[in-house]
Amino acid sequence: MSTSKITIETNVNADLKKAWDYWTLPEHIVNWNFASDDWHCPKAENDPRTGGKFKATMASKDGKMSFDFEGIYDEVIDQQKISYSMSDGRQVHISFEKNGDATKVTEVFDPENQNSEEMQRSGWQSILNNFKKYVESGQ
């Protein structure tokens, strides 16, 4: 298993509050939390506070595959930082920072040992790209 963390990022053309709300509110999470167009996120629950839990169901649109992505928040600082532990113990740290009129979102996560780091980076980046696209669509 790799000991190096993976870092991904994007700049979202939205203010900090909008980016934060779209990241944390379940009614928005279901619209962006998937890596490809043949998947979707039919259900999301989120309690974004230190000690709170989250769970998002990721499913293939053909109904053949589905899994819950879940964890517990270790630290939440409103509109700045989210750190959580996944159910397998891996850590994720997300920062939100004002970048002019945009918001820079950076995720740093512990890789798992079943898929290549490049596949994991690509998958997580695809989800982050969906987030950017959804926020910027103005929905």
Q: What is the CATH number of the domain that holds 124?
A: 3.30.530.20
Domain that holds residue 87: 6-136
102 in a domain, yes or no?
A: yes
In a domain, 11, yes or no: yes
The model's pTM is 0.93
Q: What is the pLDDT of residues 11-34, one digit of tens each?
A: 999 999 999 999 999 999 999 999
124 touches 7 (CB < 8 A): no
In 3-state terms, what secondary structure has residue 5?
coil
Q: Is residue 72 in some structural domain? A: yes
Q: Would 31 be classed as within a structural domain?
A: yes
102-109: strand order across its sheet: 6-12, 102-109, 91-99, 81-86, 66-77, 53-60, 39-46
Summarize pLDDT for 84-118 with one digit per residue, the tens: 999 899 999 999 999 999 999 999 999 999 999 99
Other CB atoms within 10 Å distance of the CB of residue 65: 10
Q: Which residues pair with 45 in a beta bridge?
A: 55
Sign of CA dihedral 84, 85, 86, 90: positive
Total domain count, the chain: 1
Domain annotation covers residue 1 = no
Angle at 37 between CA 122 and CA 133, to 5 degrees: 75
Q: Is residue 79 part of a domain?
A: yes
Looking at the domain assignment, is residue 87 inside a domain? yes
Domain assignment present for residue 37? The answer is yes
